[in-house]
Amino acid sequence: MDTWLFIGYELVATLGPLMVIYLVKYKRDKSWLSLLIFSVYLMMVFNVTGAGTLYDIFLYGIKWNGEQVNLIPFSQGISLVEYGLNIVMLMPFGLLAAALFTDNTSIYPVMKNGCLLILIVELSQLLNNRRTDVDDLIMNSLGLFVGFLLYKLVSKKLKTNPIPNIQLPISSVIWITFISRFFLFNDFGLAKWLYGF
- Taking the C-alpha atoms of residue 161 and residue 152, their distance in angstroms, rounded to an integer, is 11
pTM over the 0.75 mark:
yes
pLDDT in tens, the chain (197 residues): 688 988 999 999 999 999 898 888 877 778 888 899 999 999 999 999 999 999 988 887 777 777 788 888 888 888 889 999 999 999 999 999 999 998 777 899 999 999 999 999 999 998 888 888 899 999 999 999 999 999 999 888 877 666 778 888 999 999 999 999 999 999 888 888 878 77
- Taking the C-alpha atoms of residue 41 and residue 88, their distance in angstroms, rounded to an integer, is 13
